[in-house]
Amino acid sequence: MKRFILIVCLICVSLPHIHAQELRCNVTVNSDQIEGSSKEVFTTLQQAITDYVNQQTWTNLTFAESERIECNMMLIVKQVTDDGKFTCEFQVQSRRPVYGTTYTTPLINFKDNLFCFSYQAFDRLEYQQNQFSTNLTAMLAYYCYLIIGYDCDSYQRLGGTPYFQQCEDIVRTAMTASLETNEMDGWKASRGGGNRDRYTLINNLMDEAFRPYREFFYTYHRLGLDEMQGNVANSRARIAEALPVLKETYRARPATFIVATFLDAKADELASLFEKGTADEKKKIYDLLMDIDPTRQNTYEKITKN
């Protein structure tokens, strides 16, 4: 698998003389909740975001066309004013291939309920590193680097750090920008703690206390899923042995939500993986998942039914 070898070998190598786009993103702008006959602004917004995400070179890594990271971005428009102020929900998903198979494993399945920005039809979206241009371009850049960071973390231990640092820099820049109140939401810690916002997510990922979780993320993908073509039982056992890190992370800081973001992406995959496990694996993993994520009982019950 070309992309697998490329990322493992070159993830930290600087190749400034070679440029290629990293993402292949399918962008959808859903305006069903907005009344009115003209949809032009939503069409141009969708195209502008598609071009911005897919045509930008975000890193100095090299990707062939077939190796670009597959991802989805969906904006659900809740409200738009006459002067072009948008209030949206934003869903971002990414996935990567599992070595030696045709299966793609989900890495991110994250919903941002605080996606607010200004946009007029045919506005050009441009990203300038270390400068705050607009809230829309900053939020999109944040999620592009997040996608790349998660992808790299899955191939190399802590390999996503440079891209998570870019997310952190964007957060810092946004917090000093002149933004309206609703636009600032998401860039700062939400009241009450433990809320799902951009500030808290990157703060978790860059916190040294959560390093074991990120190392587990690598183990799960590179030493677990990617090795399954050779020995399914051994790879599943390796994942089962590593999974208690989720419980340890959750118990150490119950207000964190990186464990929840992992399970948002992986719950169905875990159920499918361990329903074929040994009796001991089934009980151990079911009990662990129900302890930290009881709201998905119906999903996890698939593990013990067979």
Average pLDDT of adjacent 10-residue blocks, the chain of 306 residues: 47 44 96 87 96 94 88 97 94 96 96 93 88 92 98 97 97 89 84 70 93 97 95 95 94 82 96 95 96 95 89
CB 115 within 8 A of CB 73: no
Tell me how long the chain is. Answer: 306
Tokens of 137: 């371009």
**Nearest one of 270, 248, 263 to 293, comparing CA atoms:** 263
Rg of the chain in Å (alpha carbons): 20
Structure confidence at residue 195 (pLDDT): 65
Distances (CA, A) of 48 to 45, 54, 110, 145, 242: 5, 10, 22, 18, 41
pLDDT of residue 226: 97
The answer to whether 42 and 80 are in contact (CB under 8 A) is no
Q: How far is CA 227 from the centre of its chain?
A: 23
Q: State the CB neighbour count (10 A cutoff) for residue 186.
A: 25
Domain residue ranges in the chain: 2-173, 213-305
pLDDT at 54: 96
Task: Give Cα separations from 135 to 10, 179, 181 (angstroms).
Answer: 32, 8, 12
Q: Which of 224, 92, 198 is nearest to 148 (CA)?
A: 92
